[in-house]
Amino acid sequence: MHDWKVGVVKKRSGREVYGVLINYEQSRKSYHHKGYTAHRGKTTYETSPASVGATSQKFAQVIEVPERAGKVRFYANLGELPATYRHTLQRVR
């Protein structure tokens, strides 16, 4: 889910700025794994079975943009970003 609003938006601090408000959601599927014997160096240990439920979190991000700015572009995919700027992206797992 992505929702964009351009114009005067309120930041968490309460300050109103001109920019883009992006609302988005991140979700994760549930998973289960069996217990197993693990080895690290000379150490051997047993792990317990584990399961994690599905989760979903909603976030909002305000990006301030000068009101008179021109040619402002937002890219959803790395492949769309000009090559000269790709190295500036933060790697998030």
Domain boundaries, the chain: 2-29+55-88
Contacts of 21 (CB under 8 A, 6+ apart): 4, 5, 9, 60, 61, 62
Can you read off the two tokens belonging to residue 44?
Answer: 């051997």
Total residues belonging to the chain: 93
pTM over 0.85: no
**What pLDDT is stored for residue 45 in this prediction?**
94
Residue ranges of the chain whose pLDDT lies below 70: 1-2, 90-93
Cα→Cα distances 70→16, 38, 65, 66, 73, Å? 21, 56, 10, 9, 9
